[in-house]
Structure 1
Amino acid sequence: MSDILDGVTTFVRVVEAGSFALAAERLSLTRSAVGKVIVRLEKRLGVRLLTRTTRSQSLTEDGQAYYDRCVRALAELEAAEADLDSGRREPKGRLRVSVPQAFGHHCVAPVLLRLARRHPQLRIDISISDRFVDMVEEGFDLVVRIGPLVDSVSLAARKLGMQYASIGAAPSYLARHGTPGNVDELRGHVVIAYLRAGAADPWDVLDVNGQIRRADVRPQLAFDDMQGIVDAAIAGFGLSWLPSWLLARYAETGELVTVMENCFRPSQEIHVVWPKSRYLPLKTRCAIDALVAEIPAMLGAPAAGAPIVRRD
């Protein structure tokens, strides 16, 4: 007797991925192996499930009806596993996480490292990139996002805190060029900017009088990597835009000086995000709880009122 579930998960993954090649990559199989699974499933069922060409695939009418029922059946099986999972004390299995570069290195990775040490049966794969990922399409269990949530319909989220940004520079740069005390005094300074989608972010700064003003600065150097900005700033190249939590780390060592603190607007929300589901696996829940417990303290509290201006 053949297993009624034989090939079902592979079939669902192929439909979700939109291609055999992508489904094979996610399932850690070859494209040929995935194709053979689908052929065996169609032969067992006696119907064609997918119409395939060299460039595309689509569900047949029978395939759509079968897919809808397979999704419901797999959801029930996942629910059954979740019920068993909830009775376990130890999370286990593979957890795929995507995090932004600087925040991932300095904040998220240390939390997940401690979580992995506490739970030896938990395997955590961390992808560190500022690239926006489609977590459902790419098969991630958790994603940390900085900024507005644009796909909240299919995703669930918990807020980890707010990211504020400050202006910092190396003591050597400030000794040569002076320390600006307001937005007007930023004019003429060498500036290191953050690149977003190929364009340098403008400097919308909360001035000492409480008004938000766009600084008249023209970046000579720009990076799409926050660590690159840090390295250039420490080298004394110019004033830099940095997340306040990151600048504070280098200010403690004396490598950088905070010139204007928590002065950039708008500030950005930080969330941990996961696909909506009636049942949350223990491995995912443990990671979310760990991030919610530890990340807020790493971000620090914003300065009250106008930005703090320091003339070290």
Structure 2
Amino acid sequence: MNDRLNGIHVFVASVEAGSFSLAADRLHLTRSAVAKTIARMEERLGTRLFHRTTRSQSLTEHGQAFYERCVRALGELEAAEAELDSGRREPSGRLRVSAPVLFGRHCVAPLLLPLAARHPKLEIEMSFNDRVVDLVEEGFDLGVRIGPLADSTTLASRLLGVQRMGICASPAYLARHGRPTGVDDLSAHTGILYSRPGGDKPWRIEDEQGRLREIRVQARVRLDDLQAIADAAVAGVGLTWLPCWMMAPYLRSGQLELVFDSRRVLSAEVQAVWPRSRYLSAKTRLAIDTLVEHIPQRLSPAPGSDVLTCIDK
């Protein structure tokens, strides 16, 4: 029976991956192991499940019907396991989490990694990436997203807090080029931009009349890493747009100065997201509850600081 269930899992993964090779990568198996499992299943069922050529594979008519039933069966098994798991005191199994690079390192990992020490049956696997990860396709239990959700129909979500933003520069840069006093002054300045596929992301700022403006600053430097952007700003390369939680230590040390604070620069929601499911496993629920409890403090650096405009008093 176990071999039959394992074969069904491999079969469904092969269909959804579109190839035996990709299914093997996702299942941490060899391609030959996947192919042998499918061959044994076809022999046992007495029918061919895939049309296979050297360049592609597709389901036969029998394969399509079998796939639809297998998906329903696996869904019922996963729901049954999740229902039992949610009633357990001790979270267990591997928890796979995806988060943006710098936010993941500084705000998510310090909260979730200690869970493995407190729960001996729990394994934590984290992946840091600034692209929008497909949680279902890539097998993640939980993700952290900053900004609007593009795939909200397939994901459940919970608000973790608001990431406030500010625009800053080094004292040396401001001494050389002057301090902008209004939104229109930004056109005369050099920016350090966060670069992502699809073009530069505009800075969203309220002008003096309270109107939201999308400003595209002239840039000679584009980077895809926030820490590198902060380093470039400290070095006097130009103005930059950073999260307040990240900017705060540089403001306190005097390495950076605020130009526009979080009352003018548009903020972004931070959310925990996970694949929609009838049941939520104990391990995922634990991680979500931990983030909900502690992320707001991470987003509001150092109460009591004398830096007023980007840090809570």
Structure 1 length as normaliser, TM-score?
0.89
1:122 aligns with 2:119: no
1:20 Cα shift? Answer: 0.7
The structure-2 alpha-carbon separation of the partners of 1:44 and 1:85, relative to structure 1 and needing over 3 Å to count, comes to: same
The structure-2 alpha-carbon separation of the partners of 1:219 and 1:56, relative to structure 1 and needing over 3 Å to count, comes to: same
Where does structure 2 lack aligned partners over 5 or more consecutive residues? Answer: 302-307
Structural mapping, 1:79-98, within 5 Å: 79-98=79-98
1:235 Cα shift? Answer: 1.4
Find the aligned partners of 1:55 and 1:208 in 2 and give their Cα distance: 60
Find the aligned partners of 2:215 and 2:80 in 1 and give their Cα distance: 57
Find the aligned partners of 1:213 and 1:117 in 2 and give their Cα distance: 47
Q: Name 2:304's counterpart in structure 1.
A: none
Q: Name 1:297's counterpart in structure 2.
A: 297
Structural mapping, 1:188-267, within 5 Å: 188-197=188-197, 199-215=199-215, 217-262=217-262, 266-267=266-267
1:124 Cα shift? Answer: 1.4
1:242 Cα shift? Answer: 0.8
1:252 Cα shift? Answer: 3.0
1:161 Cα shift? Answer: 2.1
Find the aligned partners of 1:23 and 1:288 in 2 and give their Cα distance: 29
Structural mapping, 1:177-196, within 5 Å: 177-196=177-196
Find the aligned partners of 1:120 and 1:176 in 2 and give their Cα distance: 56
Whether contact under 8 Å (1:247, 1:258) holds in the other structure is no
Matched residue SS, 2:219: coil
Find the aligned partners of 1:152 and 1:191 in 2 and give their Cα distance: 32
Find the aligned partners of 2:30 and 2:195 in 1 and give their Cα distance: 38
Whether contact under 8 Å (1:115, 1:290) holds in the other structure is no
Q: Name 1:157's counterpart in structure 2.
A: 157
Matched residue SS, 2:98: strand
Find the aligned partners of 1:284 and 1:194 in 2 and give their Cα distance: 31
Identity of aligned residues (%): 59
My pick for the range that moved more, 40-49 or 265-274, is: 265-274
The structure-2 alpha-carbon separation of the partners of 1:120 and 1:169, relative to structure 1 and needing over 3 Å to count, comes to: farther
1:269 Cα shift? Answer: 2.3
Deviations 1:96-125 (A, max 9, x none): 111111211221111112222322322111
Q: State the one-letter code of the partner of 1:289.
A: D
Q: Name 2:21's counterpart in structure 1.
A: 21
Whether contact under 8 Å (2:207, 2:264) holds in the other structure is no
Q: Name 1:32's counterpart in structure 2.
A: 32
Find the aligned partners of 2:6 and 2:118 in 1 and give their Cα distance: 35
Whether contact under 8 Å (1:6, 1:41) holds in the other structure is no
Q: Name 1:42's counterpart in structure 2.
A: 42
Whether contact under 8 Å (2:165, 2:266) holds in the other structure is no
Where does structure 1 lack aligned partners over 5 or more consecutive residues? Answer: 302-306
My pick for the range that moved more, 77-86 or 5-14, is: 77-86
